[in-house]
Amino acid sequence: MSELEDINHEISRLRQEYEYHLKNNTPSARVQYEYACMLMCSPKSSDISTAIDLFDELIRIQYQSVNCMYQLALCYIKKKKYGKARKYLELILRVDPRNQMALSLKSVLYVLLSEEAMFGTIFAIMTGLFLTP
């Protein structure tokens, strides 16, 4: 099996387990967390959006809040919603200013932001060159 097939198989397995718990009124935060983490690995934007919803719900019930906020930051980076990613990283760092994972991801986020800003500037310059008479 390819890596993508493995991911899809695991997503399917965890979805069934998650839905089983919901159907039987025995919700499991652990299963929901594992399912959301696996959805993050998917290349599908809809899966990442579902993961965001699941992590938000876990934060509301205060299940592994710091871990969920970190995972949310990763989801938002994958969706290129850098402002939201930064918000969650800053929340983590308020609780734990020395959280190495959050500090590292924040550095990566700043690199991504600077690259996008540079690309935008280059694009604007190139567009201006071609549009000038």
pLDDT of residue 28: 94
10 vs 124, which has greater pLDDT?
A: 10
pLDDT of residue 58: 97
Tens digit of pLDDT for each residue in 6-63?
Answer: 999 999 999 999 999 999 999 899 999 999 999 999 999 999 999 999 999 999 999 9
Mean pLDDT taken over the chain: 88
Give the torsion through C-alpha atoms of 106, 112, 114, 119, to 10 deg: -170
Tens digit of pLDDT for each residue in 81-120?
Answer: 999 999 999 999 999 999 999 999 998 888 887 767 655 5
Query: pTM of this prediction?
Result: 0.81
Q: Identify whether the C-beta of residue 69 lies closer than 8 Å to the C-beta of residue 92.
A: yes
Domains and CATH numbers, the chain: 3-131 (1.25.40.10)
- Taking CA 35 as the corner, what is the angle to CA 52 and CA 91, rounded to the nearest 5 degrees? 40
Region 68-72 average pLDDT: 97
Alpha helix positions (H), 1-133: 3-23, 29-40, 45-60, 65-78, 82-95, 100-131
